[in-house]
Structure 1
Amino acid sequence: MSDDKPTSRNPGKKTLLERLGDAFTGEPKDREELLTIIQDAHGNDILDDDSLRIITGAMNVSDLHVRDIMIPRSQMVSLEHDESIKDWTAKIVASGHSRFPVIGENPDEVLGVLLAKDMLSLSLSNDFNEAEMQKQVRNIIRKVTFVPESKRVNVLLRDFRQNRNHLAIVVDEYRGISGLVTIEDVLEEIVGEIEDEHDDETVSNIASNGAGAFIVQALTPIVDFNAHFATDFSDEEFDTIGGIVMHKFGRVPKRDDTIQIGDLQVRVTTADNRRVRAFEVSLQS
């Protein structure tokens, strides 16, 4: 009789690490070959859907610039320096955001960033009147970080981590305000959409930009888009207006790409190399 102890491991079955090692046998020569290996690993059930999305998302981030993922200026929720504390509180509560740029007399002048928790702590710990409260709030406004539109997203993520920042103001080549970007925007490019308790159906997918046009989220259901713009797009092939617009372009359009669809002029306002997020839609007479 053999003294060898039986092993619980099936010698014909490889561990996950061994299967990954087999998948990556042979060093890839370029990025395309690496992506092919990763996709093959997914096809062979070595990587699940979530893992594939995270790996490819992390790789794609190095190709993106801040302009590709930023929240455009027209969609920023800002606090005006000369508004009352009551007005600020109303904006904070309505938006559900945690950080807000504070704008000075010039629309391109950002004085700093207000954290909602700082204002809440101040209001709970003190019994100031309105005038005194406004003075105190100005003292808790934090320093703002500015980044150019052309900055690479992977570098921005490294800076966010090193400097412990969560929000930066995006500026164009003339130092004008283009929008803002948060660490959540970067992470969503890697892991997909991150929803919280404020990301619900009550948030409008179609909002006026104050200049006669509308900012439309790409995920707006076609039925809602038709109801707002009196159009009759079919929802048999696509569920969202983003699907129709991308079909009309015949490709993934870039920021500021414009197309005429019937009586509507559609300009891409937010996009990356994988998808479109928002459009500016105006009616052409």
Structure 2
Amino acid sequence: MSDPHPARTSLEKEDKRTFLQKLAEFIHPGPDSRAQLIETLADAEDNEIIGADSRIMLEGVIRMADLTAGDVLVAAPRMDMVNIDSPYEDILHLVIETAHSRFPVFEGDRENIIGILLAKDLLKLQRAPELNIRALLRPAAFIPESKGLNDLLREFRGNRNHQAIVIDEFGRVAGLITIEDVLEQIVGDIEDEFDVAEDEGDIFALADRTYRVSGDTSVERVNEAFDVQLQPTAHHDAEEEPHRFETIGGLIAHEMGHVPRRGEFTTLGGLNFIVLHTKGGAVRWFKVSPAVEHDNTG
């Protein structure tokens, strides 16, 4: 005999909550937006249900759903690339200087990317000089700027290709993105062997005679360290007194007119500032070097 109440039976099987659970949810309904969900996570941390690190990671996962490759890419002008026609010594110097593990390789024009070179593969040339760079190249992955980070992370995990070239709507190279760039949206900045703990200082000399400067470094300390006088650029309203910025990160963001992204650069007060890492909408590290002057070239 058929069940006289098939709909009710199906509903009973789907909803196994107890009466007390239903009552609790009626009195305290769950969040109905991402903003409320993030507030709920903050409350959970305040009530010591989850730790601060867990809350940060969960918030990162939630916020990442709205981000695309275009939001976190390294802009094309800042990409470290290998010219297929460069001598081996030049390529080796680039690998050592930048300390990257993967490099897009182009031929003729930087838009013509023909593959990816792994730094470790260069060792094969020392053992087998008859090989050439072209024989070492791996296929390059190309993705649109609109690619969601959730989907991109899934692809990175599936194909083990940890770098992708980002293409804009006109088919030109917009930049590149790595699996590290994606994961940093969840867990924060991933430190490598060249990163320095925050409590160990704020200005560090690098091997290439440039400096790594924390975005939290005071403007006064940067002025003293580099013997410069950095201050906000005067705007059209001369009667308005320029705002005084405490940190170099705040000053650079003001001068650029927006929150800097990784790979962007600017020149101020005779110094070049390149954004190395960002976190939470602020610059964590700059690469700083004296600006090259061309006025005395004749």
User: Normalising by the residue count of structure 1, what TM-score does the alignment of the two structures yield?
Assistant: 0.68
Residue 36 of structure 1 corresponds to which residue in structure 2?
39
The number of aligned residues is 242
Deviations 1:219-238 (A, max 9, x none): 2733336766933449x963
Instruction: Choose from 140, 160, 163 the match for 2:159.
Output: 163
* Residues 230 and 269, structure 2, Cα contact 8 Å, conserved in 1: no
Structure 2: runs of 5 or more not aligned: 1-23, 197-203, 233-243, 292-298
Is this contact kept in 2: 1:64–1:273, CA < 8 A?
no
SS of the residue aligned with 1:180? Answer: strand
Q: How many Å separate the matches in 2 of 1:36 and 1:206?
A: 45
Residues 263 and 203 of structure 1: is their aligned pair in 2 closer, same or farther, counting only changes over 3 Å?
closer
Shift of the 252–273 alpha-carbon distance from structure 1 to 2, 3 Å rule, reads farther
Equivalent residue number for residue 197 of structure 1:
193
CA shift digits 1:104-142 (9 cap, x unpaired): 10121111001112222x135x342xxx332xx311200
- Work out the CA distance in 2 between the residues paired with 1:252 and 1:62: 22
Q: Distance in 2 between matches of 1:100 and 1:77?
A: 7
Give 4+ residue runs of structure 1 displaced > 6 Å after superposition: 204-207, 261-264, 266-273
1:27 matched residue in structure 2: 30
* Aligned residue number for residue 49 of structure 2: 46
Residue deviations 1:220-278, cap 9 Å, x none? 733336766933449x963x4222345x49x97476x9x9x9999x9999978834578
State the match for 1:243 in structure 2.
Answer: 250
Cα distance change of structure 1 residues 206 and 110 upon mapping to structure 2, 3 Å threshold: farther
Separation in 2, partners of 1:231, 1:276: 21
Q: 1:95 to 1:34 in 2, by over 3 A?
A: same
Give the superposition deviation at 1:96.
1.2
Q: Which runs of 5+ in 1 are unaligned?
A: 1-20, 208-215
Counterpart in the other structure of 1:66: 69
- 1:156 to partner: Cα distance: 1.2
For residue 144 of structure 1, give the secondary structure of its aligned residue in structure 2.
Answer: coil
Change (3 A) 1:203 1:180: farther
Q: Is the 8 A contact 1:226 1:232 kept in 2?
A: no
Residues of 1 paired with 2:269 and 2:91: CA distance? 41
Please say if residues 28 and 34 of structure 1, whose CA atoms lie closer than 8 Å, have aligned partners that are also in contact. Answer: yes
Measure the CA separation in 1 of the matches of 2:128 and 2:270: 56
Alignment correspondent of 1:123: 125
Matches for 1:1-285 after TM superposition, within 5 Å = 26-120=29-123, 122-123=124-125, 126-128=127-129, 132-134=130-132, 137-200=133-196, 201-203=204-206, 219=215, 221=217, 222=219, 223-224=221-222, 230-233=228-231, 238=246, 240-246=247-253, 248=254, 253=259, 274-275=281-282
CA offset at residue 31 of structure 1?
A: 1.7
Rounded Cα–Cα distance in structure 2 between residues aligned with 1:29 and 1:64? 20
Report the residue type matching 1:173 in the other structure. Answer: E
Larger radius of gyration: 2
SS of the counterpart of 1:107?
strand
Residues 54, 151 of structure 1: CA spacing in aligned structure 2 closer, same or farther, 3 A cutoff? same
